[in-house]
Chains A and B, each alone.
Chain A
């Protein structure tokens, strides 16, 4: 089956070593590591504080956040880091000529179906990342790098569940 065509991407093991060096650099410089969902949490807290300041003062989630943080929620390590991710991803797309507006989906499903599942998946991932105190980046990858027990539990729960459910969502992908 060697005739199956493949796009050119970096060798995955080389990419993995480079990813490890990024995580190592983050720990060496900042004593912490990469994460994505934390930046979204900061953005949500900042939005609610701006749009509904009364609500932000009384509702427990936002109160607990402001007790643990000082200053503007957007002036945050993870927020700057995620802006960098957008820039870095864009630069990579420019270099490898992958910039295009596209709904990537299996030709056997409609693009609208893909988008509904993307929305639903995003909602679940957003919700789950709060229970998990971090997502695949912040909890699983960063956690495993520092041998955190929580990191290994997150990793196994995320990948284990996705494997367990893969059969039921196979029409989306294969």
Chain B
């Protein structure tokens, strides 16, 4: 029964070692998909390359379906799986700031590490920026602590929030993803750009 570490099938130290291997898989897949290139990542916002949309949503849908089936088969206890807390105000504010950082910098934190791993200097500078940004947040924390902790909603799953079953939500997410893939394929034909 999973999660393996919660059911003490593996020790805490093994868990940390496996984190390293999970990271290798994560970094390898991101780089293979082309996420080490800011040109490819930014492409989704102009339509010339929608690899972000395809990989991100295929990944989210695969993991979501996998977890629901693992739970159905009794292989994993979803009540022990970490669900991030929802603080509505700071979640939206943070997302807006991150979105601005995304279009300016062309990376997100995970992908910038992939870019840096293959020698992209723009990715390394982006990482320097990440450290500065987190440090600014830490030093200025008393100024925005109130906003940071406002509108706490607990750890709701979207299915609980809307009061519909997890399976139906999953189906809707899959349909939304398929529509976006169709839109992405269309956009790539409509707005092609030469590589640089």
Q: A residues near B, CB below 8 A?
A: 1, 4-7, 9-10, 12-13, 15-37, 40-41, 43-45, 48, 59-62, 75, 77-78, 80-93, 96, 98-107, 114-115, 117-166, 169-170, 172-174
Cross-chain contact of B132 among A32, A92, A123, A174 (Cβ < 8 A) = A123
Cross-chain contact of B121 among A106, A115, A156 (Cβ < 8 A) = A115
Bound: A43/B159 CA distance, A: 35
Closest 8 CB pairs of A and B: A121-B105, A122-B129, A84-B23, A126-B133, A157-B95, A16-B58, A20-B62, A161-B99
In the bound complex, residues from chain A placing their C-beta under 8 Å from that of B126 are 118-119, 121-122, 125
- A131 to chain B: closest CB distance in Å? 3
Q: B residues near A, CB below 8 A?
A: 2-6, 10, 15-34, 36-40, 42-43, 45-46, 48, 51, 54-64, 66-67, 70, 75-76, 78, 80-88, 90-123, 125-139, 141-142, 144-145, 147-148, 153, 155-159, 161, 166, 169-170, 173, 181, 189, 192-196
Nearest opposing residue in chain A for B117, CB measure: A89
In the bound complex, residues from chain A placing their C-beta under 8 Å from that of B85 are 133, 150
- A33 to chain B: closest CB distance in Å? 7
